[in-house]
A and B are shown apart, each in its own frame.
Chain A
């Protein structure tokens, strides 16, 4: 266990001390923030207010709370996955630098080494994502707070699950890479693409039917939806309490991906958790299997 703890500590330290790796991991959330500040917030606000019937006059705080909830959920959804991908690139860097060869010269087993990469990546990502969650909650408190303690706790659970999901996914992908070029390519693809694929940059409901169907098979989509539901639950409750018809609230939920449909069937929150946990189990199993196969080679 001493070896495992030491390796995990080393990996975490390396991630936070390597400014290149650390700041690269924050690129996608930063892009999202820039998009939001420059035009997304305005687009969200306008599309939201224009969709409302003329009879409904809404408080600014509720509108800002809704738009803020969208930003927060999008930001956390991409953060959990892209940061874990970048922090987990250490396993590739160690191959390139030769550090892995040095580590495997010691009596520590390869499975311990693989587990240490996973744990360190999960811990580093969790630290960043919980700090991000804290900042997001402060932001929501300023622009429009409609959440309960339960919502906050559920957001924490979502961060926990999605970080583990991102770490498991990145572990499977990264353990097959062995050059800086490959690592850079994967980092770029994930940073640029994941925000779209999980519906963080733009709600999936805005995409065509075919693409929506394809994306409904990807578990990350349900992770974003969980964040959306918990960040916006209070807003929807407030809307209903001030007299919004249920149909309109459901329409809003549909338009910003709080409601997701799999082959035409609405997916409940419980099912979303089930999808995420099942995916996590499959991915971790895959990582263990890959390491077993590689060890026997």
Chain B
């Protein structure tokens, strides 16, 4: 896979505040790329620079082989953005909203009609097409937001904390849609989120802290590097668990032991086969990774 986004030594300051410091990373075409960080970590600043909304102080940003400094207009055609809050016009109908936005990219007449038909099928909003956006439910509105972001066939879909404030059902719906889009249209998805479990499904994750990269890798490599494994034992008494000589915590049906690596867990099982009749090994969570990397907890609530 080739790189669709290349950022090298990106810096941006607001007065004395260094919002983004020497940030370098690459996003591969077609992947789900997650950007994690607490508020003020520099996520929005980076996205605003990517989308040409904010001038950078230094560094280079290349999108689909085009330099942001020289090809801003062409780059804008490659990006579709879903904001945290719906930014469509509540008083206008879904059709009016999408029509006015499509025209900004020169998509009018029959071409628009065809695109609207395709998107309404894909995102299942044919029945609300003539309804004002303000009358739609949160989940329906999110689908229209995605349709707006995709109206001009972008190659990169930027999701800026898209599920914040959504109920679990709408959150699930959004992810189903995004998964479908990635499968059918080969979209690259650039995600910023507070929800750790959403990052678990990403192909690559960057954890931002104070404007610079605190950790990066695939979810698996991050978990292996920054979080231990958990062995959960069922059907034995506390005395037997204590005999293992490792710290443990009681859970409803058994005991949870934290081990540094999966191989250490395997070693433990092999050394005490009698105790391991009913057990499971689980990887650490992304929350553990984030805490280990930044020393901070993300207050994103439950995952999707």
> Knowing A14-B91, A17-B92, A98-B87 touch, does A105 contact B100 (C-beta < 8 A)?
no
Q: Are A99 and B88 in contact (CB under 8 A)?
A: yes
A14 to B134, CA, bound (A): 13
Residues of A within 8 A of B51 (CB): 105
Given A3-B104, A6-B103, A105:B92 Cβ within 8 A: no
Are A101 and B83 in contact, CB atoms less than 8 angstroms apart? Answer: yes
CB distance from B198 to the nearest CB of A (A): 22
Complex CA–CA separation, A49 to B184 (angstroms): 81
Give the distance in Å from the alpha carbon of A238 to the alpha carbon of B92 in the complex: 51
Q: Does A126 contact B (CB under 8 A)?
A: no
List chain B residues, Cβ under 8 A from A108.
Answer: 104
Shortest Cβ gap from A7 to chain B (Å) = 7
- Cα A104 to Cα B79 in complex, Å, equals 12
A107 to B91, Cβ gap below 8 A? no
Residues of A within 8 A of B52 (CB): 105
* Contact among B83, B104, B152 for A7, CB-based, below 8 A: B104
Fill in one digit per residue for A81-106: 1 if any B CB lies within 8 Å of its CB, else 0.
00000000000000001110111111
A13→B92 contact, CB < 8 A: yes
A102 & B91 in contact (Cβ 8 Å cutoff): no
Picked from B76, B88, B92, the residue with its CB within 8 Å of the CB of A106 is B76
Q: How far is the CA of A101 from the CA of B52 in the complex (A)?
A: 11
Number of residue pairs spanning A and B whose beta carbons lie under 8 angstroms apart = 67
Which residues of chain B are within 8 angstroms of A2 by Cβ–Cβ distance? 103-104, 106, 108
Range of interface residues on A (Cβ < 8 Å): 20 to 34
Query: Considering the chains assembled together, what is the distance between the CA atoms of A106 and B83 in angstroms?
Result: 14
Assuming the contacts A2-B106, A6-B100, A13-B96, asked whether A105 and B85 have C-beta atoms less than 8 A apart, the reply is: no
Residue in B closest to A102 when the chains form the complex, CB atoms: B87
Q: A17-B91, A102-B87 are in contact. Are A9 and B105 (CB under 8 A)?
A: no
C-alpha gap A46/B148 in the complex (Å): 62
Please indicate the chain B residues that have their CB under 8 angstroms from the CB of A104 in the complex: 53
Identify the closest chain B residue to A99 (Cβ): B87
Judged by a CB distance under 8 angstroms, whether B289 is at the interface is no
B interface size (C-beta, 8 A): 28
A106, B85: Cα distance in complex, Å? 18
| CA A107 to CA B103, docked complex, whole Å | 11
User: Is there a chain A Cβ closer than 8 Å to B73's Cβ?
Assistant: yes
Q: In the complex the two chains form, what is the Cα distance from A219 to B235 in whole Å?
A: 89
C-beta contact mask, B72-97 vs A, less than 8 Å → 1, else 0? Answer: 01101101010101011111100010
Return the chain B residue nearest A93 by Cβ. Answer: B89
B81:A105 contact, CB within 8 angstroms: yes
A6 to B104, CA, bound (A): 7
Minimum distance in angstroms from A105 CB to a CB of chain B: 5
Nearest chain B CB to A246's CB is how many angstroms away? 55
A5 within 8 A of B: yes
Q: Is B101 an interface residue (CB 8 A)?
A: yes
Distance of A12 Cα from B77 Cα, bound (Å): 26
Inter-chain CA distance A13–B91, complex, in Å, is 9
Specify which chain B residues have a CB less than 8 angstroms from the CB of A103 in the assembled complex: 104
Chain B residues positioned under 8 Å from A102 (CB to CB): 81, 83, 87-88, 101, 148
Cβ of A98 and Cβ of B83 under 8 Å apart?
yes
| A37 CA to B79 CA, complexed, in Å | 57
With contact pairs A101-B83, A102-B101 given, residues A107 and B88 touching in the complex (Cβ less than 8 Å): no
Residue of A nearest to B72 (CB): A107
Distance between Cα atoms of A155 and B80 in the complex (Å) = 48
Measured between alpha carbons, how far is A7 from B52 in the docked complex, in Å?
20
- In whole Å, how far is A188's beta carbon from the nearest beta carbon of chain B? 22
B106 touches A10 (CB 8 A): no
Which chain A positions have C-beta within 8 A of B105?
106-107
Shortest CB-to-CB span from B50 to chain A, Å, is 11
Task: List chain A positions with a Cβ less than 8 A from chain B.
Answer: 2-3, 5-7, 9-10, 13-14, 17-18, 97-99, 101-108
CB-based closest 8 A-B pairs: A6-B103, A106-B104, A98-B87, A10-B100, A102-B87, A17-B91, A107-B73, A107-B76
